[in-house]
Amino acid sequence: MNDYPFIPFNPVRFSIEQMMERSNQFYALMQKRRSLRFFSDEKIPEIVLTNIIMTAGTAPSGANKQPWSICVVTNPELKQAIRIAAEKEEQLSYSERMPEEWLADLAPLGTDWQKPFLETAPALIVFFKRNYEVVNGKKKNNYYVTESVGIAVGLLLAAIQNAGLCALTHTPSPMGFLKNLLQRPDNETPFLLIPVGYPAPDATVPDIARKAANDFIYRY
């Protein structure tokens, strides 16, 4: 039985010239995207944050389960608590958990266990995976949860760039402290912590290059 009525679908269609122009403009915009670790504390309008997150919510998902919860943290005390907990885990990771090869790969990027951006950035967006739902006291599975949430994160990052803001995808490991501090339910697992904001006036980023088309596009 089909619970979803099917409705006509008539998306806007662009000419070849318009497609080329729009795709070029969007690529140029996204080519400027960088992971930022030096944020200004300037506040972001709440409607902008909402629009960015709602854009993430347009992502496709397995069986349309939309298996994500997205938390927005702007409270200074809570951001400080997240930083303290994250740095505790990161210090252990850098000193004991991470193999030498990983540390060597990170060294040119100038990263370490200290994460001041978790307090400085005006907003932290935290993605949680909803592994299952509880309906009438019974568990109902979600499907392709990691893939679905990953796609939603990609749309979020594009929306952040489109709004003229910057972000960092931060993955402290383990991330259980996020579930505790944000008091999330048993069916949720932390997935990604994303500081969002404007760059600090003296912000810098590593001078890196992205792969050329021939290095990762294969046509058949």
For the chain, list residues with pLDDT below 50.
1
Was domain 36-200 assigned CATH 3.40.50.150? Answer: no
d(CA 154, CA 195): 14
Beta carbons of 114 and 37 less than 8 angstroms apart = no
pLDDT recorded at residue 109: 87
Query: For residue 118, what are its two tokens?
Result: 């978790």
pLDDT recorded at residue 2: 63
User: Over the stretch 156-203, which tens digit does the pLDDT of each residue have?
Assistant: 999 999 999 999 999 888 899 999 999 999 999 999 999 999 999 999
Please, what is the Cα angle at 84 between 92 and 176, to 5 degrees? 70
pLDDT recorded at residue 36: 96
d(CA 67, CA 129): 6
Stretch (H or E) spanning 196: strand 188-197
pLDDT recorded at residue 216: 97
Whole-prediction pTM value? 0.95
| Domain boundaries of the chain, sorted by first residue | 36-200
d(CA 19, CA 25): 10
State the helix-helix crossing angle for 145-162 and 16-31, rounded to 10 degrees.
Answer: 90
Mean pLDDT of the chain: 95
